[in-house]
Amino acid sequence: MALADSRLEMRVRPASVIEAELDVAMLGHCPGNARWDLLLENAQTVREIARLGFGEQIEALMQCFEMAKKLAQQQFIPIDQAALEVYKQLSADKQAQLELYNLPIPLVSLAHFQVLFPQAERQATAYRSQLAGNTAWLPAAIADFFQSSQPGTFADGAKKLWLLRIPEADAQQGFLPDPQADYSQPQGLKGFDRAMLIPNLGAIAMPDLERLQIPPNLLDVRRMRLVNPDPVFLPCTQSTADDHRERRRSEEIPHPGNPWTLQSLLTPILTSLKKRRPDLQCLFSLPLEQVSEGSLPTVANEAKQAIAQARTSENAGLHAIQFLFPYLSNKDRALSSPVGLIAGAMVETSQRLGPWRSIAGRPLPGMWQLYPPVPSQQVLALREQPGVGVLLSYKGRLELDDERRAAPVVGVNGFLNRKLSTAQLEGYQSGEVARFLGWLQRQLIRLGESWLFNSDVRDPLGKAQLTQFFTRLHKAGALRGALAEQAFSITATHDNESTVIYEIELAPVFPIDRIILNFSHNLGSNSSQWQLDIKNG
């Protein structure tokens, strides 16, 4: 923010981050220029990016920044103007680096994003639809994420969001992962695959992918069309526009385009999540279609069919997707995605109450209208089939009806081998179960990595630390049982050489009897990874 004649300038610096229970990554479009020079001013941000394997790109940015500082001193110009001059002198490849495309950037406040991408909220995007306009959805989703349902309880730094800017020219393909990507070369990865390198990541959202899936000529309920008036001569200052008559200027009519099918989006996402990060969940709003002229848009029938088809496959991993519906609207936004609100509520609830607590029924911040409106009968239908988290509005309060998943959570084979009642099956399709098990997997992997090179297979330290960990979970209310001994049990086995296995039985506070975790590591292998298998007890 510049004051007076810019002799005094205030810049937002990220606050020290509180250790978060889980991080969120958002992929989307940021129209306009990127202030790459301001990104380098915070050492903590630079260290976190380099720690993910992008030190070379940070070094390249540093070199350009040094060039900009020298130019500013020589020509007595502001550093931002010097940075722009340096940008113009570079090749196209170097310019792409300065645009910060596909670079994971940690944000701890909305102001931090607005400083790095000052034009993102105002500049138009290349894709335009009649329902959503030509405004990027990522800035709005970030603003929603950093809102708090209890103002004053969460300061900047309590939530952590990783931003990945996707080039608009890449369209839908820019958001999708490559299931065959080589993760040993992070510089060659794209946005989604780079996001999966973040160790504490718990959820991924792609608001602008949802925007690209809005058909360009999809209309709201048509307004009454009036007859065009006969042409007459009028003063140039007089306006005859009343928003009711037909517009015939070609530049106002979007070029028709076909959104991708949901199946073509789900296949690479589910394959990559299952292969690389089974602990993650992806938030995605269902696409729209108009059944008949003059009717409100509704959930696309093709999307329902794609979910039903994926649900029949035991290896699809459909439980990793949290489908949401409907969209949000208010006086400032024609249409926007709910993923920012839901992701922010997930982080806030996990931080205050634990990742095993549901966000359903809790008030969400902001004043919103739901589009399209969802009657109560449709809420029930979407919850049951295909399995959607439906947003509700009641007396001005917005909330999520249920964290319902389209498929049973984790261990599909083990969970479906038994005959379950409707109530039990609903428990297996709960989003909070998936979030808790994903968080548990990350915590155990982190604990196991701390033992590497420091313990022997016969060392009792591992079992002792696991006992302490699950005792704390029991005290926090994540496990049921009057005593800790009733909440979990740990059995350690080894082959006296290199392999150690911990079999852990849990009694979680969900409508699930038991969960068995097989936590193992082969100390003699070349891999330093711990393996965690989860199945029904």
What pLDDT, on the 0 to 100 scale, is given for residue 394?
Answer: 82
164: tokens are 């990945």
Residue 428 has which token pair?
């297996």
Please state whether 464 falls in left (phi above 0), alpha (psi between -120 and 50) or beta.
Answer: alpha
SS3 26: strand
Backbone angles phi, psi at 305, to 5 degrees: -65, -40
Instruction: DSSP letter for 284, please.
Output: E
Q: Give the Cα separation of 341 and 364 in Å (integer).
A: 7
Structural Rg of the chain based on CA atoms:
25
pLDDT average per 10 residues of sequence, the chain (537 residues) = 52 64 96 90 91 92 88 85 84 85 94 93 91 93 89 68 95 94 90 95 97 88 61 72 50 64 95 92 94 84 93 82 94 91 94 92 89 92 92 88 85 47 68 90 86 70 89 92 90 74 85 69 51 57
Say if residues 259 and 289 touch (Cβ distance below 8 Å): no
Q: How far is 65 from 524, CA to CA, in rounded Å?
A: 46
**In which residue are the tokens 């005959």 written?**
419
Q: For position 537, what pLDDT does the model report?
A: 52
- Distance between CA atoms of residues 154 and 352, nearest Å: 10
Tell me whether residue 517 is exposed, middle or buried, using C-beta atoms within 10 angstroms of its C-beta: 0 to 12, 13 to 18, 19 or more: buried
Q: If you ran DSSP here, which 8-state letter would residue 479 be given? A: B
Q: What is the 3-state secondary structure (H, E, C) of 344-366?
A: HHHHHHHHHCCCCCCCCCCCECC
Residues 6+ apart with CB under 8 A from 450: none
Domain residue extents for the chain: 15-33+100-217+257-400, 35-98, 412-536
Distance (Å, rounded) from C-alpha 95 to C-alpha 97?
A: 5
d(CA 454, CA 459): 10
pTM: 0.87
pLDDT value, residue 90? 84
Distance (Å, whole) CA 30 – CA 165: 6
Contact 277, 434 (CB under 8 A): no
Q: How far apart are CA 166 and CA 179, in angstroms?
A: 18
Taking Cα atoms as reference points, which of 84, 123, 82, 115 lies closest to residue 9?
115
**Amino acid in the structure at residue 270:** L
Between CA 271 and CA 177 the distance in angstroms is: 9
Contacts of 335 (CB under 8 A, 6+ apart): 131, 132, 133, 214, 327, 328, 329, 371
CA nearest neighbour of 199 among 435, 23, 17: 23
Concatenate the DSSP letters of all residues of 298-345 into one string: EE-HHHHHHHHHHHH-TTS-GGGEEEEE-EEEETTEEEE-SHHHHHHH
Cis before 508? omega within 30: no
pLDDT at 472 (0 to 100)? 94
